[in-house]
Amino acid sequence: MLCVALGPKGAAQIFQHLPQELIEQLTVEMARTTSVDEAASEIVLEEVVETAYARGYVAEGGVAYAREVLERAVGSARASEILSRLATVIEQTPFEFLRGTPADQIYTFLRTEHPQMIALVIANMPTTELAAQVMQLLPPVEQADVATRIALMGQTAPDVVKEIAHVMRQKLDSVLQHEYAAAGGVPALAQILNSSDRGTERNILEHLAERNAELAEEVRALLFVFEDILKLDDRSVQLVLKEIDAKDIALALRGSSDEVKERIMANMSQRGAEMLTEEMEFMPPQRRKVVEEAQSKVVGVVRRLEESGAIFVARGGTGADDQVL
C-alpha cells in the first residue's frame, strides 16, 4: 500500500534498500493491489511518518526519551500504540540506558572492572560510535586485550547480559545522584551565567544584589563581564579584537565607560581607531538588547580564548598558584 501510494519513483527508491527476496514478494503484492483509496493511503503514510520519527527519537535518546516526546506530541495512548508497533523492529540492547551517557563517564565506571566485563559492555553498547569512544579511552595495552576478547566472544546468555546491565545501571544511577547532590554553589552559578546572554546575566546579578549583596559579589568575582576588558593586558585585548567584527565592537562600546573605549582604541591601529570612531558617530540609536548582544559576542570571544589558553583573565580571588610569572 505504501509503495503504491508513493508512486513508481518513490517505490523504486524503497526497493533499492530491500533484499532481493523481499523485493520479489513485494512485487507480487503490488501487482495484486491495483489501487489504494485516499483514506487508506493517508493512514499508511501517517503511520510511516510516525514510525520514522519514533525511530529517530529512539536513536537519539532511547525508548524512554522517545516515549516522552511522543506523549507530549500525540498523547499517551497514541504514543504507546506507536512504540508497540515499533517494538517489533527495534533491537534494543540491555545497555540502551547508556545511550547519551558521555564516554568518559562510562570509562570511569568500567576502568576498575575485569577486561572480560569491559569487553562484554563495549560489545553491547547501543551504538558503535559510543563503543569506539569508550575503547579509545582505554590504555593501549588494555585496548588490545579487550579487542581480542570481543573478537573471540561467543554468544552470552541473555540473562547474564541483562543482570550485568541491571547492576551497572544501579551503580551508574548512584554515581549520578551523588554528582547531582554535589552540584550547586557559587561556582556552579558563575558557570551558568558565563554561558548566558548579557541580559540574563545582568538581570540575575541585579536581583541577587538586592537580596544578598555579599553573595552577588562572590558571583561577580568569578564572572567576566564586558567592562572587565580593562583587566586584560594589551596583547590579550588585541587578540580579542582580531576575532570580532568592527561593527560589533562599535555596538558593544555604546553606553560603555570612556575608560573602556580608550582601552579599546589604544589597542587598534590609528586608521582602525578612526574608522571605529566614525562608525560610532554615524550609528543611529540602538536598543539596549542589541548593544548587550554585541557585548555578549565580545565576552564570548574572551571566554573562548581563555579556555584555549591563548589569554589569561585575572579574576577576583586569584591565588598565588594562578599568578602569571
In a domain, 267, yes or no: yes
The answer to whether 228 and 311 are in contact (CB under 8 A) is: no
Of 87, 108, 130, the residue at which a domain comes to its end is 87
CATH for 251 = 1.10.220.30
Note whether 100 and 168 are same-domain residues: yes
| CB atoms near residue 274 (< 10 Å) | 12
| CB atoms near residue 243 (< 10 Å) | 14
Note whether 270 and 218 are same-domain residues: no
Of 48, 64, 87, the residue at which a domain comes to its end is 87
In a domain, 324, yes or no: no
Span 250-263, average pLDDT: 88
Secondary structure element (H or E) that encloses residue 71, with its range: helix 38-74
pLDDT tens column, 121-171:
888 887 788 888 899 999 888 888 888 888 887 766 777 778 888 888 777
Alpha carbon distance 168, 297 (integer Å)? 43
Alpha carbon distance 184, 182 (integer Å)? 7
- Give the up-direction half-sphere exposure of residue 252: CA atoms within 13 A in the CB hemisphere: 27
In a domain, 321, yes or no: no
Note whether 281 and 217 are same-domain residues: no
Note whether 274 and 291 are same-domain residues: yes
pLDDT tens column, 159-203:
777 888 888 877 776 655 554 444 457 776 777 776 666 677 778
Span 226-251, average pLDDT: 88
Note whether 311 and 230 are same-domain residues: yes
CATH for 202 = 1.20.5
Of 23, 57, 87, the residue at which a domain comes to its end is 87
pTM over 0.85: no
Instruction: List the domain range (segments joined by +) for residue 275.
Output: 226-315
| CB atoms near residue 170 (< 10 Å) | 9
In a domain, 28, yes or no: yes
Q: Residue 176 has which C-alpha cell?
A: 549520578
Q: Residue 166 has which C-alpha cell?
A: 541491571
In a domain, 16, yes or no: yes
